[in-house]
Structure 1
């Protein structure tokens, strides 16, 4: 029986096995889907399908810089134990290196990693390590100088928070200070122009409602709103924030004094925005015992 791409895809969808493993299973079993599934199970290659529904909110962010380009990737696992696993860390490092040549997440999933696609490599690791894993995000940045920083690194170039800062002028030491600031302060955007207009408008409406509750005259309210919005924008934009190294200066002013211009940044934090399931200790132990 001819082993078509459609058959391979169907088997992969059912088992979570890698492309080559699925093709081999079908070939070994003359295209019989049920027999191919059993074959994969006996080889331990269908485990990934069982794990795929579990919440993966731990893991690592890895950063990689080459010339004037930097990338950050987030690869998630279910537990922090796996994030400390040398096999997992090696895979994440490989994915970060592959990301330098990828334009987006789809391209990265399809990128070659030691003879297999990144997506298939992750699927294989799910089967061997026994936890759900996902390549969740990637972000890239370009500039004259790119400085990378990892907060509390678990291994070289990877940890829970990864930051990239792009700038012109200045030196690497100053760039690292800015990257550390970004890790700590978590700015929403580089400057006011880079902010999502919907975020700004939402805050403005909130401030209008608060100001009107005061019962003050309209002209006073307008000044109140103007002042509060200025403060809001300063607090959430990188260039407007007080520099952690010297709070008497804004980041923008500190950059000027260092002879630098910050042109962009990327900050990824493991599990950011993922809703974690809450379990009591007994349930957690029971789940671990079931495998």
Structure 2
């Protein structure tokens, strides 16, 4: 199944008699699914079927759905209802005076529903069922466009994630190789330190005692478990990428686990080169997580 991005934009429209309309859908990242609607007065009834249509295709993200309507070029000019406007002006002025606010602006009042009426010669309005069928059909087109854009972007993100996982796997293998040299390096450093401490003294450390100290330090510096877990996380992340749809949260959790193992590897390291590899791992994990934030 394809991987979906949470971001996208689409628009589709049509006409209801002499009235043109356009749906616009904007989608951005979100922790869950949140949808906000901006619908013209009188079309609030569409919110439920629109929400149901979205839920069938979108599982996660913040969406804003806006429906814009305007008289068509061939439609009759709307008629200003002065009685309604005068009433709104009077009410707005009274409210402004009561609360010590500035006088209302006329353009804001003229944008309110009911101020303009259908002009003479306008085509008769469609019934609700006919309107809804046309409007919902256009919305389905916009939603299909949005999903296609999300899938295309998801494909690009999937390729980037695969590359980041390859890099994490490469660095993990390099860290394993470098970590194998730690016991010998620890022994050499400990011998050098003891030689400095015992210089000009008669004390001698037995080979058995030295071996015990080296073994204790080597256990503390052992990163094999971290290496194994990093490899397991890479394998699981690849399975999720192959599964596709709806894996964003699980990939985000894995990214956190990657980061935890890289931090532990760095803290256990007694070798400059291994520490450098651990820091490179953290950088690769950060890049992975940045991309994961965009996945549904």
Give the helix-richer structure, 1 or 2.
Answer: 2
Q: TM-score, normalised by structure 2?
A: 0.21
Q: TM-score, normalised by structure 1?
A: 0.21
* Structure whose alpha-carbon radius of gyration is higher: 2
- Ranked by relative contact order (alpha carbons within 8 Å, sequence separation 6 or more), the top structure is 2
Give the strand-richer structure, 1 or 2.
Answer: 1
